[in-house]
Amino acid sequence: MSEDTVRKTTCYMCACRCGIDVHVRDGKVRYIEGNRDHPVNRGVLCAKGSAGIMQQYSPARLTGPLKRVGARGEGKFEPISWDEALELATSWLGEVRHTDPRKLAFFTGRDQSQSLTGWWAQQFGTPNFAAHGGFCSVNMATAGIYTFGGAFWEFGAPDWERTELFMLFGVAEDHDSNPIKLGLSRLKARGVKTIAVNPVRTGYNAVADDWVGITPGTDGLFVASLIHELLHAGRVDVDYLIRYTNAPWLVIDNPGEADHGLFARDDDGQPLVCDRTSGDVVPAATPGVRPTLKNAVTLADGRRAAPVFELMAHAYLDAGYAPAATAEATGVAADRTKAIAAQLAEAAFEKEIVLKRPWTDMKGERHETMIGRPVAFHAMRGISAHSNGFQTCRLIHLLQIMLGSIDVPGGYRFKPPYPRPVAAQPRPHGKESCADSPLSGPHLGFPEGPQDLQLAPDGVTPVRLDKAFSWEAPLSAHGLMHMVIANAHARDPYGIDVLFMYMANMAWNSSMNTSGTMKMLADTDENGEYVIPKIIYSDAYSSEMVAYADLVLPDTTYLERHDAISLLDRPISEPEALCDAIRWPVLEPDRDVRGFQSVLLDLGARLGLPGMVDDDGQAKYRDYADYIVNHERKPGVGPLAGWRGEDATGVGRGSPNPEQLERYIANGGFFREHIPEEALYYKHANQAWQDFAVARGLQDKPVENVFQLYVEPLRKFQLAAEGFGELQPPDHLRARLRDHLTPLPRWYPPLEETLIDQADYPLHAITQRPAAMYHSWGSQNAWLRQIHGENALYVPEDIAAEAGLQDGDWAWVTSPHGRIRVPVKRMAAVNGRTLWTWNAIGKRPGAWSLSPGAPEATKGFLLNHLIGELLPPRGDGRRWSNSDPVTGQAAWFDLRVRIEKADTGGATVEPHFPTQASPVPPPPKNVTWGKEWSG
Ligand code: SF4
C-alpha cells in the first residue's frame, strides 16, 4: 500500500489562514490536520478546515473556461479554450484601456491577493478597483487607523497571556476563528472574565461569563456611557494620555471662522500644548514639557483654545450619555453599565502589570519598566455593519486609550506591520485616470482632508463608479463594492463597458437587494443591449454569480495554486513575531482551470501593462509563483519577507531569491521572525520597534504615532460643509457631513431608522456567520451542509408569543424594502427586539451543483432580500446609499422589520427564483470520499 505524503500549506476555508498539513495519497487528499508549528493556529483545526477535502472534491467546481450562450442568469454556456477566453478578455479590456479606463470596474471578493489585484488595476489605469472591505468591515479598519494606527483582527490581537478582562463587541464566528478560540481557552484556563456584547448569544457569546444582549446599532451609545462613567469616576490613565495621545493638544475655539476646531499650531505646523507648570503654550514635542489636559488658554494671537481632553470631558460627561439615559435605547440597564465600567477600571488600574523590561521611547527617554493595563477588547461585524459603525468603533478605541490599554502588557497588541498611522498610509488615487496610462498611486488610501477626495474638476462629481472618496463617503478606504452594480446600472455617475469580478457572489449573498441586483445584471436598454455590457467573472465554483457572466475564467481550489499571505497585503503576523505564508499546489488540478492570479498576470502581459512586460513586450512573469518570488514593490521589498537576498538571509529586504518558495515549503509554508524583546510593547512610541520596522522594510523611516482621540481630518470635512475652503460639497450633503464627521466620536441612530415609521417596523433583523461555514463556499460542502442545510429565523420568545409563532411555523418578514417567507424558531438568548438567522445558507435552485429541491434552495433563505442598497426615499429624488456616511461601509445590520405568521405553511421560502442551468457536469447521486482507503 502506498504511503501518505504530508504537504504543508495554508487553509482557505475561512479568512484566518491557519497552517495545515495535507495528507496526500495516490494524488488525492486523505485527510487534513493542523500544522502544530504554525503561528496562527498552533495545530488547531476547525470543522471547516477538515472539510477542505470536500471543497477539493466538490461537484460544483468549474471545469473549464465558459462563454455565455443563453440569457444572462440562465446559466447556459459553451466551453471554450483558454486561448479563446484570454483573447476575448484582452479584446474587451484593451478597448476600454485605449479609450477610457474608467469603463472597467474591477472588484474582487474575499480573495487574499489584493496587493496584486490592486497593482494590476493601477497599471491598467481604472479608478474603479476595490475588494470586498466596503461591504465587510471597513469601519473597523478605518476607525482604527485614524485613531491609533491599528485595528482589530489582522492588525492586532489581545494579549491573551496577560489580560485580566476581555470584552467582545459584535463578534460572531466572523473573521477571527481559531485564534479567538485558542485565546478564549487560555482565558478560561486562567479564570479570566469575558464580557460579550452582542444581540445574540451564540458561539463566543455563549461561552462568555457575562452576556450583554444589546439592541443592534446602539453599541456606541453603550460605550459612550462607559466612557461617561469612567470620566465621572476619574478612572482614566492620565499619564498615558499625555505621553501617547493628542489629549493635551490645543483645539482652536473660534466659532464661525475657518480655523474653528483645528489644532493650534506653530509656524512649523507643530501642534501646541499648554505647559501646566509655566502656563506657556509650546509645541507638543518640546523636551520636558508637562502639558495640561484642562482649561482653555489664550494663544499669542489672542485666539482661545482648549485641550482635546477638555472637549472630551464636555462631550462625554453630557447627561445624555449617563447610564440611566442610555438604558432604554441600548437595552442595557444602568446598573449593569455602571458595573461594567467599574470592572474595566478595576482590571486596568488595580491589576496593573509592571514588567521589568527596559525600553527607549522615540523622544530618547529610557524607561525601566513596561506598565500594563490588562483590559483587552475585540470587535467586528456587529459594530462595523451599521451606518454609525465608524464612530462606534472610534468610541471603542477611545475607551481602550483612556484606560491606557493599547500595546501594553495585558491590552490590545499591534501585529506587524502595524502600527501604521495615517501619516504612513497612502492617499487615494484615481482622478488622474486617462487612456493607456497607469495611475500614479494606489486606489485605496486615507484622506487627510477634502483635497484628497477623488472628484472630477467640478469638485463635486465622483471619479469612482462606487463614489468612494467623494463627498458621499469621504473616508471610504476600502471602496463601496455594494454600490458598484447599482451605480453601473443607473449610470450614476457614469455607465461602464466591462464589469470584471473575482470571487464575489454578487448575484446572491454578497449583495444587498439581491433580487434587484439580479435584475440589474440582466437588464437591457432601449436598444436591447445589456445595460452592463460585458461581465467577466472568475471563481472556482458554480456560484449564482457565474450564471450572470458573459465570460467565465475558472479558478483553481486553494489546494491547487500558489498564494502569498503577504505583509504587503493582509498579513498573518502575531504580536510577538513578523510572519507571512504561502499556498502552493499540493495537488495538481484535474480540470482545465488556472489560478486567477496567474491569469491576471497573463492578461496584464497581453494588454502590455507597465510592470507586467519586459522591454521587448514579453510577459515579465511566467505565472503567479514567478511574480511572488521576483516582483519588487520597491527595491528589495517584495510579496514575501522571508529568505530574501542571494544568500537567503534577508528578512523584509533583499534581492529576489529564486529558491524562496522552496524555503517556505521546507519550513512548513510560513516564515516567522520574532520581534526583539525591547520592541514587544509600546510599538507606537518605541524606538526599538521603529528600528526593527525600518530594517525589515515595513516602513521607510521612523513614523511618529500619536493616538488621535480628536481626528482633525474629520473636522476639515466639517469645515468644508460649513462653507470654508476651496472645495465645497453640494448643498444637499452639507448637513450630513457636519453631523456625522465629528472629530470626537458621537453616537447617532442608524440612518435607516430615522427615515421610517418605527411603529411599522418595530424589530431589528441581523445575520451571523455560523462556526461551521464561511459564506457561500461552505454551504455547498458535502460535509458542512449536513450541519447547516437550512436556516430558521430565530424569534425572541415574547415576539413569537405575540405573533402566535411556534417552532416550525412559517412567517412573513417585511422591511421597508421587501418581504420574505421563512421558517421560524423561538429563542430566549437574544435581544428582545431582534430577529436573526445564519448567514448565506440559502442558495438559488440550480446553483452550486445542488439539486433544485435541496434544502438550501427550499428552506434556506437570505435576509438580503429585505435590505436595500439605497436608503428609503427621502422625497428629494436623490439616491442615498445604505452606508455609513463617513466610510461608505454597507449598513447591513441597520435593517428594521415586522413579522407576521404566514397563513399557510409554506413548502418553500419566498422569494423563490427560477432554477439556473448548471454550468458544470451533473453531480453524482452521492458524493463520497475515502472508499479507496477503507480496506
Ligand atoms: S479557522 Fe479558518 S483557516 Fe483556520 S482551520 Fe478553520 S477554516 Fe481553516
Contact criterion met (CB below 8 Å) for 361 and 684 = no
Spatial CA neighbour of 743 closest among 886, 609, 931: 886
464 vs 32: CA distance, rounded Å: 43
112 vs 365: CA distance, rounded Å: 40
Q: How many CA atoms are closer than 13 Å to the CA of 609, on its beta-carbon side? A: 26
551 vs 328: CA distance, rounded Å: 53
Q: Is 538 helix (H, G, I), strand (E, B) or coil?
A: strand
Could you tell me the pLDDT band of residue 1, with boundaries at 50, 70 and 90? low
299 vs 280: CA distance, rounded Å: 9
H-helix or E-strand spanning residue 551: strand 551-554
446 vs 466: CA distance, rounded Å: 16
Q: What global pTM score does this model have?
A: 0.98
Q: Which atom of ligand 1 is nearest to the CA of 20?
A: 5
| Distance between Cα 316 and ligand 1 center (Å) | 40
Q: pLDDT over 70 for what percent of the chain?
A: 99
Q: What is the pLDDT of residue 845?
A: 95
Q: pLDDT over 90 for what percent of the chain?
A: 93
Q: What is the pLDDT of residue 172?
A: 87
Q: Which atom of ligand 1 is nearest to the CA of 45?
A: 5
Q: What is the pLDDT of residue 784?
A: 94
All three cell numbers of 383: 459594530
Least confident of 395-404, 683-692, 742-751, 897-906: 897-906
Residue 448 has pLDDT above 70, yes or no: yes
Q: Is 33 helix (H, G, I), strand (E, B) or coil?
A: strand
All three cell numbers of 664: 517556505
CA dist list (Å): 589 to 110, 558, 781: 21, 10, 18
H-helix or E-strand spanning residue 229: helix 219-233
H-helix or E-strand spanning residue 250: strand 250-253
Q: How remote is the C-alpha of 578 from its chain's centroid?
A: 21
188 vs 191: CA distance, rounded Å: 5
Q: Is 732 helix (H, G, I), strand (E, B) or coil?
A: helix
Could you tell me the pLDDT band of residue 776, with boundaries at 50, 70 and 90? confident
Contact criterion met (CB below 8 Å) for 510 and 135 = yes
Q: What is the pLDDT of residue 570?
A: 86
Pocket test for ligand 1, best of 9, 10, 11, 53 (most atoms within 8 A of CB): 11
β-pair type (498-502, 104-108): parallel
Burial 528-543 (b: 16+ CB within 10 A, else e): eebbbbbbbbbbbbbb
| Distance between Cα 173 and ligand 1 center (Å) | 11
Contact criterion met (CB below 8 Å) for 172 and 839 = no
Residue 320 has pLDDT above 70, yes or no: yes
Q: What is the pLDDT of residue 875?
A: 87
Q: What is the mean pLDDT of residues 104-115?
A: 92
Q: What is the mean pLDDT of residues 912-925?
A: 93
Contact criterion met (CB below 8 Å) for 257 and 720 = no
What number of other Cβ atoms are within 10 A of residue 765's Cβ?
Answer: 25
Name the closest-CA residue to atom 4, ligand 1.
18
Could you tell me the pLDDT band of residue 903, with boundaries at 50, 70 and 90? confident
| End-to-end Cα distance, the chain | 10
All three cell numbers of 682: 509600546
555 vs 535: CA distance, rounded Å: 16
Q: What is the pLDDT of residue 905?
A: 62
pLDDT tens digits for range 528-566: 999 999 999 999 999 999 999 999 999 999 999 999 999
Q: How many CA atoms are closer than 13 Å to the CA of 832, on its beta-carbon side? A: 8
Residue 910 has pLDDT above 90, yes or no: yes
| Concatenated DSSP letters of 342-402 | HHHHIIIIIT-EEE---EEBTTS-EES-EEE--EEEEE-HHHHTSTTHHHHHHHHHHHHHH
Q: What is the pLDDT of residue 925?
A: 87
Q: What is the pLDDT of residue 927?
A: 87
Neighbouring residues of 133: CB distance < 8 A, sequence distance ≥ 6? 141, 477, 478, 479, 481
pLDDT tens digits for range 37-68: 999 999 999 999 999 999 999 999 999 999 99
Q: What is the mean pLDDT of residues 652-667?
A: 98
Q: How remote is the C-alpha of 422 from its chain's centroid?
A: 17
Residue 176 has pLDDT above 90, yes or no: no
β-pair type (763-768, 375-379): unpaired
Could you tell me the pLDDT band of residue 266, with boundaries at 50, 70 and 90? very high
674 vs 666: CA distance, rounded Å: 19
Neighbouring residues of 524: CB distance < 8 A, sequence distance ≥ 6? 530, 531
Q: What is the pLDDT of residue 344?
A: 98
Does any ligand 1 atom lie closer than 6 A to the CB of residue 14? yes
Does any ligand 1 atom lie closer than 6 A to the CB of residue 425? no
Q: Which atom of ligand 1 is nearest to the CA of 181?
A: 1
Residue 935 has pLDDT above 60, yes or no: no
Note the residue count of the chain: 935
Residue 915 has pLDDT above 70, yes or no: yes
499 vs 482: CA distance, rounded Å: 13
Residue 318 has pLDDT above 60, yes or no: yes
Spatial CA neighbour of 911 closest among 504, 516, 543: 516
All three cell numbers of 301: 494671537
| Distance between Cα 120 and ligand 1 center (Å) | 28
Could you tell me the pLDDT band of residue 919, with boundaries at 50, 70 and 90? very high
| Distance between Cα 12 and ligand 1 center (Å) | 7
Q: Which atom of ligand 1 is nearest to the CA of 47?
A: 6
- Amino acid letter, 693: A
Q: What is the mean pLDDT of residues 831-843?
A: 95
Does any ligand 1 atom lie closer than 6 A to the CB of residue 773? no
Name the closest-CA residue to atom 8, ligand 1.
49
Does any ligand 1 atom lie closer than 6 A to the CB of residue 772? no
Q: What is the pLDDT of residue 778?
A: 78
| Residue entry with cell 522594510 | 697
CA dist list (Å): 229 to 222, 223, 323: 11, 10, 8
| Distance between Cα 781 and ligand 1 center (Å) | 14
Pocket test for ligand 1, best of 9, 14, 17 (most atoms within 8 A of CB): 14
pLDDT tens digits for range 191-218: 999 999 999 999 999 999 999 999 999 9
| Distance between Cα 107 and ligand 1 center (Å) | 24
**Cis geometry, peptide bond prior to residue 323 (ω within 30 degrees of 0):** no
Does any ligand 1 atom lie closer than 6 A to the CB of residue 565? no
Contact criterion met (CB below 8 Å) for 641 and 571 = no
